[in-house]
């Protein structure tokens, strides 16, 4: 199960209902934090996300509302005697920012590795998923992130293998791995006994951005696109000036990218009621909801 936990959903200024930007992707035991605005650690406590799990922090850009939670989070992790290493990814300047507060507050009690992103593409690759980035279009260097799981092998049908006279054991393994096997009676193809691969899941986070083609490509076919929608249509000019998107523009990106669901976040404090933003987006992309703090979206494995 992948869980998407919205920790902070405000744009720029926090409100009583909305904290500064942060989203946690919880995948098994592992936590991937997409931005870490002020108050993120408190929201992690409220959402029962521990401080000692394998954790990666992905910083979209160096604006305070996206990074000021990192000092507090690192301090609490130290107080809780975290030993596991922590990885932080972000734009150029991320290392200087972290060094600035650790040099005065004291370093964390565990290793922190910082990777500054220089170009679009894959930034992390494990056996089961990769993390990819595309350049966002904000008023400072900014990145959008995608979690992309690899396809899983298709379902194996032991009854069919038996029926075709393949003895259980090493030959089954080879068929499961996609290989065809030769028996005295002829060749048994893997595709006869194994279903086609099942798609992995994909979650994409825009960070602060105007609409961009790079983000649309990154989000292609995503299960969930988390897109900022700071403003409504009446402030489209302001969004363009400040390097943000309207709810409608977020929906247009979702439609172009052919995603399954759109969740809008980074909502300006002027919108106490998000119904306007949701309805402007739904005209273009019906499967849209506005995030709220501590909202959890579960993403089960896909079978097709
Ligand atoms: Zn912001
Ligand atoms: Zn910003």
User: How does pLDDT run along the chain (304 residues), one tens digit per residue?
Assistant: 899 999 999 998 999 999 999 999 999 999 999 999 999 999 999 999 999 999 999 999 999 999 999 999 999 999 999 999 999 999 999 999 999 999 999 889 999 999 999 999 999 999 899 999 999 999 999 999 999 999 988 899 999 999 999 999 999 999 998 899 999 889 999 999 999 988 999 999 999 999 999 999 999 999 999 999 999 999 999 999 999 999 999 999 999 999 999 999 999 999 999 999 999 999 999 999 999 999 999 998 877 6
User: Among all ligands shown, which has an atom nearest to the Cα of 228?
Assistant: 1
Q: How far is the CA of 10 from the centre of ligand 1 (A)?
A: 8
User: Among all ligands shown, which has an atom nearest to the Cα of 142?
Assistant: 2
> What is the rounded CA–CA span in Å between residue 93 and residue 133?
17
Q: What is the pTM of this model?
A: 0.92
Catalytic residues: 65
Q: How far is the CA of 99 from the centre of ligand 1 (A)?
A: 22
User: Among all ligands shown, which has an atom nearest to the Cα of 139?
Assistant: 2
> What is the rounded CA–CA span in Å between residue 199 and residue 273?
37
Q: How far is the CA of 208 from the centre of ligand 2 (A)?
A: 5
Closest CA relative to residue 148, chosen from 124, 165, 114:
124
> What is the rounded CA–CA span in Å between residue 144 and residue 206?
5
Closest CA relative to residue 195, chosen from 245, 154, 233:
154
Q: How far is the CA of 64 from the centre of ligand 2 (A)?
A: 8
């Amino acid at each position: 199960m992948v869980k998407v936990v919205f920790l902070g959903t405000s744009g720029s200024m926090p409100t009583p209902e909305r904290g500064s930007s942060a989203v946690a992707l919880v995948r098994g035991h592992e936590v991937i934090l997409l931005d870490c605005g002020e108050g993120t650690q408190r929201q992690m406590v409220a959402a029962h996300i521990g401080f000692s799990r394998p954790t990666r922090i992905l910083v979209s850009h160096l604006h305070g509302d996206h990074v000021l939670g990192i000092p507090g989070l690192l301090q609490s992790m130290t107080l809780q005697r975290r030993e596991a290493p922590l990885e932080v990814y972000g734009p150029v300047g991320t290392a200087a920012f972290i060094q600035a507060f650790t040099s005065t507050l004291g370093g964390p009690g565990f290793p922190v590795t910082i990777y500054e992103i220089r170009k679009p593409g894959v930034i992390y690759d494990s056996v089961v998923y990769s993390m990819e980035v595309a350049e966002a279009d904000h008023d400072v260097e900014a990145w959008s992130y995608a979690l992309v799981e690899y396809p899983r092998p298709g379902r194996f049908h032991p009854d069919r293998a038996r029926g075709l006279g393949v003895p259980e054991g090493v030959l089954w393994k080879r068929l499961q791995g996609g290989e065809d096997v030769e028996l005295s009676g002829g060749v048994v193809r893997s595709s006869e006994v194994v279903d086609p691969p099942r798609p992995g899941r994909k979650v994409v986070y825009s960070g602060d951005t105007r609409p961009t083609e790079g983000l649309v490509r990154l989000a292609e076919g995503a299960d969930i696109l988390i897109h900022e929608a700071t403003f409504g249509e009446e402030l489209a000019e302001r969004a363009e000036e400040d390097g943000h998107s309207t709810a409608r523009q977020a929906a247009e990106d979702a439609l172009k990218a052919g995603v399954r669901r759109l969740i809008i976040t980074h909502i300006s404090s002027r919108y106490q009621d998000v119904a306007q933003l949701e309805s402007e987006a739904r005209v273009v992309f019906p499967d849209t909801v506005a995030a709220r703090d501590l909202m959890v979206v579960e993403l089960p494995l896909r079978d097709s």
